[in-house]
Amino acid sequence: MEEIILLGLGGHAHSVVDSIEQAGQYHIVGFLDTEEMQERHFRNYRVLDTDGALDKYYANGIRNAFITIGFLGHGNVRNRLYQQLKRIGYKIPNIIDNSATVALDAGFEEGIYIGKKAVVNANTQIQKMCIINTGAIIEHDCQVGEFSHVAVSSVLCGGVSVGKETFVGANVTVIQGRKIGSNCIIGAGTTVRKNIEDGEVIR
């Protein structure tokens, strides 16, 4: 079984760990996090070091890494860590929970997390480093831009386009064919009936 190291021990990491364990594809070595998080743990996995040690773990033969930090209000932290991993040479796999439903022709880049009971339907394209969280529905012919996060139980109806580094909050519904720009925040429970421009915050 290949080894994998995880970056960030917060709430989102708990979901990712469970998905990895149930799939049985990777052996989790542990976490890297900030100085303040050293020696903390989740299940049998503890924080081993900071992300400054990524070169060391790669040199020791670990080739897989996954970013287990959530959106945090913007995609900057995830983007920085992604660039660091790519510079070193890590493989960043997709973690797809066993309970998710994914169409045969759905397209995925790298570093994507798809949570429990999520649905990604036909002819949908998910760009790198997205989070499609628990129970989210991404219907047919949608596009989700890099570093975006579709939160729990949200629904993107058919043909919806979401830009990069956008957060779609819990229980949001986006009506079919609408476009949401980049760097947007769509607040929990919103129904999106019109196109949303780049940088808009909808509460």
Tens digits of per-residue pLDDT, 138-170? Answer: 999 999 999 999 999 999 999 999 999 999 999
What is the per-residue pLDDT for 74?
65
Q: Nearest-CA neighbor of 165 among 136, 138, 139, 200? A: 200
Q: φ, ψ for residue 191 (rounded to 5)?
A: -105, 120
Picking from 73, 93, 113, the residue at the C-terminal end of a domain is: 93
Q: Are 165 and 73 in contact (CB under 8 A)?
A: no
Query: Are residues 57 and 80 located together in one domain of the fold?
Result: yes
What is the per-residue pLDDT for 76?
83
Positive/negative CA dihedral, 73, 190, 120, 101 = positive
Tens digits of per-residue pLDDT, 91-138? Answer: 999 999 999 999 999 999 999 999 999 999 999 999 999 999 999 999
What is the per-residue pLDDT for 79?
93
> Domain of 121?
95-203
Query: Are residues 88 and 111 located together in one domain of the fold?
Result: no
Query: Are residues 88 and 117 located together in one domain of the fold?
Result: no
Query: Are residues 102 and 178 located together in one domain of the fold?
Result: yes
The answer on pLDDT for 4 being more than 80 is yes
Query: Are residues 86 and 100 located together in one domain of the fold?
Result: no
Query: Are residues 202 and 103 located together in one domain of the fold?
Result: yes
Q: What residue spans of the chain are helical by DSSP H?
A: 11-23, 54-59, 76-88
Picking from 43, 58, 93, the residue at the C-terminal end of a domain is: 93
What is the per-residue pLDDT for 112?
98
pTM score, whole prediction:
0.96
Query: Are residues 85 and 99 located together in one domain of the fold?
Result: no
Tens digits of per-residue pLDDT, 103-114? Answer: 999 999 999 999
Residue with token string 């040479």 = 89
Q: Taking residues 27-47, what's their average pLDDT?
A: 94
What is the per-residue pLDDT for 119?
98
How far is it, in rounded angstroms, from Cα 128 to Cα 138? 16
Tens digits of per-residue pLDDT, 47-88? Answer: 999 999 999 999 999 999 999 999 766 668 899 999 999 999
- Half-sphere exposure (Cβ direction) of 22: Cα atoms closer than 13 Å: 14
Q: Looking at residue 170, which CATH number applies to its domain?
A: 2.160.10.10
Query: Are residues 7 and 78 located together in one domain of the fold?
Result: yes
Number of domains in the chain: 2
Q: Taking residues 7-25, what's their average pLDDT?
A: 96
Query: Are residues 144 and 176 located together in one domain of the fold?
Result: yes
Query: Are residues 180 and 87 located together in one domain of the fold?
Result: no
Q: Looking at residue 71, which CATH number applies to its domain?
A: 3.40.50.20
